[in-house]
Amino acid sequence: MKSDVCLYGGPLFDGRDLMPEAAVSFDADGIVAVTPSAERPQAAHTIDVRGHLIVPGLIDLHCDAIEKCIEMRPGALFNAEFALQALDQRLAACGITTFCHALSFADNELGLRAPEEAEALVALIRAFDRESRGSIKHRVHARFEIGSARSAVIIERLVDTGQVDLLSFMDHTPGQGQFKTLQSYIDFYRRSYEVPADEVLAMVDRKKVNRPRAWEQARKLAASAHAAGIPILSHDDDTPEKIALIQHLNVGGSEFPISMDAAQAACDAGLHIFMGAPNLVRGTSTNGHLKAADTVSRGLCQGLISDYYPECLLQTPFLADARLSVGLPQALRLVTAGPGAFLQDGFAGGCLRPGARADLIVIDTRPRWKKVVQTWVDGRCVYRAEPGLAPGVETPAKAMFSVGR
């Protein structure tokens, strides 16, 4: 069968195995064939990747970068569509082909995390993706702050109308989770939003008022999301008791567990665990919580997510392979097949196999910090950088990869 495009001449990771040399052919309808040899399938266009690594497009389940793109500094607001378009181009260069915008719905929060602001962003992102205005695939990850009655009504409506791809539950009440003390909560909001301490304390008081009915709201939302086939995550889980609680909410995964006890309990409960890519790149959590490296090295982590820094996602498999000796195939699964498997049934992303979506990237593995040289989405090249190799120049990529490593 003749396809539109064939990439050949380099190692290839198909979502499970790493082949020392392979070719992949595809068109707008998806992957046509993967040939684990130097043979080139017939195609209208053949591209020699010259030793660079071919992998599925990266899948990011959680990133709030759009917030910073709209409000680079407190009070310095930019047009939301302009910010989304700029971010879209940036993500294509990062090799991220499916990106879940993590939008916070929290009644008592400030700025873009207020529910009405978040709902407006959902509408913008949906239109941007539906009308193919961007380079990559944009998805909505709705983050529900426990105890937010107004937000619960809005998210319920968005779920019912098919506007949500992923739902998570978060609880930022001081004294547990991310904020172990009231002072840490005050310091975070004063630093992030430049608000006085008395205003932050008023936010805490409002949270406490809403807590008695908070988990009942969460149960109703979880039931609606589960009925709609929407995967559900829990956020910043800190204890095995919290893991036991969320299991009643049809939760399928724990993102950013902040203690090893919570991560182990989540694993024992059969939940997927997702950790922050910036955590692994930096080697530590910004809050001194659980290190991503510890969960990866113990085999507890099913995926890495960029959280707030999309550029980190590409680097993590190579750092995990070099620092943690987990093996490159397993490390690459953390940013491709692992998160891809968590999304709705029928999402054929994170792998290169016949019938899967033609979302793939080509990576120059020579520099210390790896870089994307090609990004393809639905068989269309949306980003290309000069590979910087002269004909006949030997690349170390082929020697770097071996079957089954």
**pLDDT for the residue numbered 36:** 86
**pLDDT for the residue numbered 405:** 30
**pLDDT for the residue numbered 286:** 83
**pLDDT for the residue numbered 396:** 41
**pLDDT for the residue numbered 403:** 33
Q: Taking the model in full, what pTM does it have?
A: 0.88
pLDDT in tens, 160-214: 999 999 999 998 665 555 665 656 566 666 666 666 777 767 766 666 666 667 7
What percentage of residues in the chain have a pLDDT greater than 70? 82
**pLDDT for the residue numbered 182:** 56
Evaluate whether 61 touches 23 at the Cβ level (below 8 Å): no
Q: Which residues, in sequence order, are CB contacts of 93 under 8 Å at separation 6+?
A: 372, 375, 383, 385
**pLDDT for the residue numbered 42:** 83
pLDDT band at 237 (very low <50, low <70, confident <90, very high): very high
Evaluate whether 204 touches 138 at the Cβ level (below 8 Å): no
Question: Quick one: average pLDDT of 210-229?
Answer: 86
**pLDDT for the residue numbered 252:** 97
Q: Please say if the pLDDT value at position 215 is more than 70.
A: yes
pLDDT in tens, 378-400: 999 999 996 443 333 334 444 33
> Cα–chain-centroid distance for residue 259?
21
**pLDDT for the residue numbered 386:** 65
Q: Please say if the pLDDT value at position 9 is more than 60.
A: yes
Q: Please say if the pLDDT value at position 137 is more than 90.
A: yes
pLDDT in tens, 42-86: 889 999 999 999 999 999 999 999 999 999 887 899 999 999 999
Q: Which domains does the chain have, with CATH numbers?
A: 3-56+351-400 (2.30.40.10), 58-342 (3.20.20.140)
**pLDDT for the residue numbered 107:** 76
Q: Report, in angstroms and rounded to the nearest whole number, the Rg of the chain calculated over CA atoms.
A: 21
